[in-house]
Structure 1
């Protein structure tokens, strides 16, 4: 369990290689739509990252699974990301950190970067551009937004426009929707390539 500053306790899981070269905090999709750290895309991308020597921390946002607390409309959930990042840095103080998230998880992890000024590499999978208030001021960092051209919650055009405003690149997966069915390996490759950029500095 991970303790937050507000007293909420978060159910969490570490997946780790024998020797890690980087650490990733990976945030799950919308709690009010059945999102948990165990949904298939989260599981498969995590497996792929571990195979590429990343240690991966997944956690359930407040009110999900065994995590305490209740849904906080994205505000408290940003605090959850902060607590997870702190846990990751304490466990691997000498390794570079990266952030990844799917849908709501992409939004909250980016929101935490905007709030904290963090400049860790970031991979946003199916960021729901236009549905919420995305952060506008971010420290420069390697960032990618991954979107399917059939995404049900954001358009490629809106994603490209937002990416340009924050200096991120965009990867479009043709034929994919919000769930990237049968494309999890390609999603993993893009995430890993982006997060590894800090290792190469």
Structure 2
């Protein structure tokens, strides 16, 4: 299981995958790839925006989890993380669209090749997980993409949409349990 920091750990893992595969060949410096809201991108060339978190409906644990001698933790919460990835080229207007298409193409290639977030990329958080998170490209309609973009006075920019799931967040509630050490039974003969 993992604590609340797993959400930022997953976001950092996505950034790390993209930086390792794009810097310096496609994007000059690692600071050009990072988390940002589309309306507040600064000098980011490839922005990753966590736009939604939803409860995972496929995994709903009900059993408490043992956490040492005489203790049980309430079941964890499983969520899905939704990301929008947008390229912001600084190239001349004549080349900007092509440059952004190249950046997005490379991002898709990298995330497809690392479609699971295993221990080497998630670090110590991965050791605590019972399910390995997967990265999935979403196939959204144009209207849905525009709704997610939702920046006043700014036209929609071609973006990629991904779901990372399942993400496990452990409960803080731990209960003490005691083992049964003695049992008393009363036996009676049943009369008819």
Q: Same fold (TM over 0.5)?
A: no
Q: Give 1 or 2: higher strand fraction.
A: 2
Normalising to structure 1: TM-score of the pair?
A: 0.30
- By relative contact order (CA 8 Å, sep 6+), the higher-ranking structure is 2
More helix by share: 1
Using the size of structure 2 for normalisation, the TM-score is 0.31
- Larger Rg computed on CA atoms: 2
